């Protein structure tokens, strides 16, 4: 499902114009991104948590050049789904 599909689905279910839904979805994503950039986690009850995780400094290998490189400490965004969300997906996903 793409962002456009989400906008279409919300518009169809609520009767709100697609342009308004598009702006709302974009605003939500911008707010989420800016919050994570500032180091603030976002918690959505019943859905999940968007958190910033710290990755430690580590040594890695470039196999093709047979060299070692140092990857510095850095932060990455991560999503942890709520237990109720995981339970629903486990029981209902159709292949």
pTM of the model: 0.77
Contact assessment for residue 29 and residue 23, using Cβ atoms and an 8 Å cutoff: no
Q: pLDDT tens digits for 39-61?
A: 999 999 999 999 999 999 999 99
DSSP annotation of 93 reads -
Per-residue pLDDT, averaged over 21-36, amounts to: 96
Q: In residues, how long is the chain?
A: 95
Written out in words, the top-level CATH class of the domain with range 3-92 is few secondary structures
Q: Would you list the domain boundaries of the chain? A: 3-92
Q: What strands lie across the sheet with 48-55, from one edge to the other?
A: 42-44, 48-55, 74-81
Of the chain, the end-to-end C-alpha distance in Å amounts to: 15
What share of the chain in percent tops pLDDT 90? 86
């Amino acid at each position: 499902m793409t962002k456009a599909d989400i906008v279409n689905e919300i518009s169809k279910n609520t009767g709100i114009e697609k342009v308004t839904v598009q702006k709302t979805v974009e605003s939500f994503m911008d707010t989420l991104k800016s919050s994570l950039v500032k180091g603030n986690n976002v918690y959505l009850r019943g859905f999940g948590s968007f958190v910033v995780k710290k990755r430690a400094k580590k040594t890695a290998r470039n196999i093709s050049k047979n060299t070692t490189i140092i990857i510095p400490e850095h932060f990455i965004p991560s999503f942890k789904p709520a237990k109720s969300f995981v339970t629903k997906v486990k029981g209902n996903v159709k292949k």
